[in-house]
Amino acid sequence: MDTLLKPAHTDLPASPSLDQRRDHGPDQRPDPNHADCRGVASVLSRVGDKWSVFVIMMLSDGPKRFNELKRLINGISQRMLTLTLRGLERDGLVTRTIFPTIPPRVDYELTDLGHGLSRPVEALGRWAKDHLDQIEAARTKFDQRNEG
Amino acid sequence: MDTLLKPAHTDLPASPSLDQRRDHGPDQRPDPNHADCRGVASVLSRVGDKWSVFVIMMLSDGPKRFNELKRLINGISQRMLTLTLRGLERDGLVTRTIFPTIPPRVDYELTDLGHGLSRPVEALGRWAKDHLDQIEAARTKFDQRNEG
DNA sequence: CAGCATCCGTGAAGATACTG
DNA sequence: CAGTATCTTCACGGATGCTG
């Protein structure tokens, strides 16, 4: 009940790295006029987390069960899905509803907050989809210049 | 010129994990009706990368120099900044302009593609900022329930 | 079915010292 | 100033096996 799903010796489910590892200095004021880093970063990292994004997208359709999500995302391991869901739950983005039946059934659903997030996230997803070619082209070109 | 800034033995600057490690099986069609994962994921991971986001935000004001960015972001290490910038450059999101003066001067600027990305990214940033409290509150609450 | 518990490899990121 | 080079750490994430 200690190591649980937590990889090795973390204390947070799915986005520990930022909050914990990032304060390497005593005072860390970047410049208030831009972005206040610390806090925003921890939210951004949730968004940047591949699995979180996919889960959010899948759930924007409506509530889903555990294995349903697993099938939809398909590349995700069960551990990562659990971890991701716990993280999203922790952040108040999804709710976890347990039906004490046999066999057990658990539904995951976006909260209002989660739905709010899903909008900019999907906007981003659309952008990504739209410009994928350009980016991949740029990557190829860059790689050729750099080692070809 | 081989190990360079690349941490240990990667081949991509800042978002290699997804494309490479993700194909653990022969057939990996998730369900075309949702998101096509692989490609989008690699873009999302760039966006989700904390440092990339901050750099993009900083550069949306206009071109900046290396150390200027470093100061603005402040929590970033010099290595990570270089790595991030190379990644963004590789993806065709920023340009790198070298002035062969002494001392040397390098300007980084968003490309059109980069500016395009900066819009949804900033939307996300705003969202993150706006709902930071809610999320942190949720986190605290969740943590208390879970171990208090 | 949903989920813990564990072991383990990989690689992302920090710190530091050196160069043009 | 703007990088490079290198070492080290340790968190992410996969695979597997066990519970209620």
- pLDDT (tens digit, 9 = 90+) per residue, B41-54? 888 888 778 899 99
**pLDDT at residue A58 above 50?**
yes
User: Is residue B124 one of the residues assigned to a domain?
Assistant: yes
CA of B73 to C1' of D1 (A): 17
Q: For residues A88 and A109, give the distance between their C-alpha atoms in angstroms, rounded to a whole number.
A: 10
| Better pLDDT: B18 or A105 | A105
User: Is residue B51 one of the residues assigned to a domain?
Assistant: yes
**pLDDT at residue A10 above 50?**
no
Q: Which of residues 105-134 of A touch B (CB under 8 A)?
A: 113, 116-117, 120-121, 123-125, 127-129, 131-132, 134
Any idea what the CATH number is for the domain that residue B49 is in?
A: 1.10.10.10
Structural domain count, chain B:
1
Predicted structure pTM score: 0.81
Under the banding of pLDDT at 50, 70 and 90, the label for residue A18 is: very low
Q: What is the pLDDT of residue A5?
A: 55
Mean pLDDT of chain A: 79
Q: For residues A113 and A93, give the distance between their C-alpha atoms in angstroms, rounded to a whole number.
A: 6
**Residues 28-57 on chain B lying near strand C, CB distance under 7 A:** 49-50
Q: Which of residues 20-79 of A touch B (CB under 8 A)?
A: 22, 24-25, 28-31, 34-41, 43-45, 47-50, 53-54, 57-58, 71-75
User: Is residue B79 one of the residues assigned to a domain?
Assistant: yes
User: Is residue B52 one of the residues assigned to a domain?
Assistant: yes
Segment among A11-20, A74-83, B26-35 with least mean pLDDT: A11-20
Q: For residues A44 and A41, give the distance between their C-alpha atoms in angstroms, rounded to a whole number.
A: 5
User: Is residue A23 one of the residues assigned to a domain?
Assistant: no
User: Is residue A4 one of the residues assigned to a domain?
Assistant: no
User: B131 is in which domain, residue-wise?
Assistant: 40-143
